[in-house]
Amino acid sequence: QVHVVESGGGLVQAGGSLRLSCAASGRTFGTYTMGWFRQAPGKEREFVAAISWIAGRTYYADSLKGRFTISRDNAKNTLSLQMNSLKPEDTAVYYCAAQQEFYRGSHYFGYEYAYWGQGTQVTVSS
């Protein structure tokens, strides 16, 4: 089982950058695929990025490729999301999530994630 806690959200101007972090509990962090999702007011939760436990493969929402970078440090049980060139439409609550250990399915859907954090607010002003 994994317990995750996000941090790093805040208010930033359009064009700026933020780095979100997710601290995870557990001794086998490296065997979980981790992901970021976001939910804007009045909208459904959407996939942002994921990084697999298999060779650290990364997956991104098409619309965010090139601006967002997901990474992990298995030694520190930490997941990160570097967000650059932020836009007002990136405003949302960002959630860190973990799939079941050794999961080999898709990474794009929220229902495939078993463990969720409480979220961290990111607000991008225009």
Torsion angle of C-alpha atoms 69, 73, 78, 81, degrees rounded to 10:
-10
pLDDT at 121: 98
pLDDT digit of tens for each residue in the chain (126 aa)? 899 999 999 999 999 999 999 999 987 899 999 999 999 999 999 999 999 998 899 999 999 999 999 999 999 999 999 999 999 999 999 999 999 999 898 999 999 999 999 999 999 999
What is the C-alpha separation between 116 and 95, in angstroms, rounded? 7
Q: What is the pLDDT of residue 28?
A: 87
Residue 46 tokens read as: 């959407």
113 contact partners, CB below 8 Å, separation of at least 6: 35, 37, 97, 98, 99
